[in-house]
């Protein structure tokens, strides 16, 4: 009697006897309605029961998307990496790359929060760099993919964001008199992101740091590069009326 009522037995599996198609259809319906956790369970059940069918491969991608929509970015990245590893030549592997990049991209969507009054050097831009690498690989390996254009646009945004982040950290150190650290971060921005708009300020910081440290040759080299690439920089004008070199406006 007790076994029959299921009080002390295993919970009844509502999907028992379902075909791969029914499991997939029901999971997709849950996904569309926002039932992400239950959708993942259905997709996992589908993959476990029918591991060699076409629905199993698609279920792996859907699991990654469900994790992404549910806000579990780490699980989404892991699911995408698993799909890429298992099916490197799958027709939809470009989507796995794209979804992985999105998860990483959104994980570090607060990269530019350095504009807030806090220490920007405490932030970690690793997720942004990883996202950029994945976006670059997607655009390079699958140039005809329908996701390629958006991948290139997001990669461009990340380049500017990462450059601005490095310069913000450099400026943070500069204002605190940590000239070696400031010069190091500014130099990294110039070398890694030479085309980014933030390079102008990075060079300005380099000039100031080298001047403060008494490194006249390096200061002059940095100023020469800055004047060549940014001849109309507004930084030059700030020190004209003071009678001091333009980089010493404070």
Q: What is the DSSP string of 179-223?
A: HHHHHHHHHHHHHH-TTSTTHHHHHHHHHHHHHHTT-HHHHHHHH
Q: How confident is residue 32, by pLDDT bands cut at 50, 70 and 90?
A: very high
Residues 47-98: pLDDT tens digits? Answer: 999 998 889 999 999 999 999 999 999 999 999 999 999 999 999 999 999 9
Percent of the chain with pLDDT over 70: 83
CA angle 170, 173, 178 (to 5 degrees): 125
Residue 221 lies in a domain: no
Percentages helix, strand, coil for the chain (3-state, rounded to 5) are 70, 0, 30
Residue 131 lies in a domain: no
Number of domains in the chain: 1
Residue 141 lies in a domain: no
Residues 91-120: pLDDT tens digits? Answer: 999 999 999 999 988 755 454 444 434 454
pTM of the model: 0.77
The rounded mean pLDDT for the chain is 86
Residue 31 lies in a domain: yes
Residue 23 lies in a domain: yes
Residue 63 lies in a domain: yes
Residue 27 lies in a domain: yes
Contacts of residue 245, Cβ cutoff 8 Å, sequence gap at least 6: 211, 239
**Per-residue confidence (pLDDT) for residue 116, from 0 to 100:** 38
As a whole number of angstroms, the distance between CA 57 and CA 63 comes to 10
- Residue 51 lies in domain: 17-72
CB of 138 within 8 A of CB of 145? yes
**Residue among 28, 26, 5 nearest 17 (CA):** 26
At 148, give phi and psi (nearest 5°): -65, -45
Residue 28 lies in a domain: yes
């Amino acid at each position: 009697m007790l076994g029959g009522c299921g009080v002390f037995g295993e919970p009844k599996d509502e999907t028992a006897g379902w075909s791969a198609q029914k499991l997939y259809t029901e999971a997709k319906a849950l996904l569309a309605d926002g039932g992400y956790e239950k959708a993942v369970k259905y997709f996992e059940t589908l993959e476990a029961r029918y591991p060699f069918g076409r629905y199993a491969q698609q279920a792996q991608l859907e699991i990654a998307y469900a994790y992404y929509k549910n806000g579990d970015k780490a699980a989404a990245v892991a699911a995408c990496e698993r799909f890429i590893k298992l099916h490197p030549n799958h027709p939809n592997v470009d989507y796995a790359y794209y979804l992985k990049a999105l998860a990483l991209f959104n994980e570090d969507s607060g990269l530019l929060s350095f504009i807030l009054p806090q220490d920007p050097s405490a932030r970690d831009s690793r997720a942004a760099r990883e996202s950029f690498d994945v976006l670059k690989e997607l655009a390079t390996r699958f140039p005809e993919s329908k996701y390629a254009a958006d991948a290139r646009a997001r990669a461009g945004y990340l380049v500017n964001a990462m450059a601005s982040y490095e310069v913000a950290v450099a400026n943070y150190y500069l204002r605190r008199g940590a000239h070696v650290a400031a010069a190091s971060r500014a130099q990294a921005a110039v070398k890694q992101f030479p085309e980014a708009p933030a390079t102008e300020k990075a060079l300005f910081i380099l000039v100031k740091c080298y001047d403060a440290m008494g490194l006249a040759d390096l200061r002059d080299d940095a100023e020469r590069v800055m004047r060549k690439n940014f001849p109309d920089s507004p930084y030059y004008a700030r020190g004209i009326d003071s009678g001091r070199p333009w980089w010493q406006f404070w």
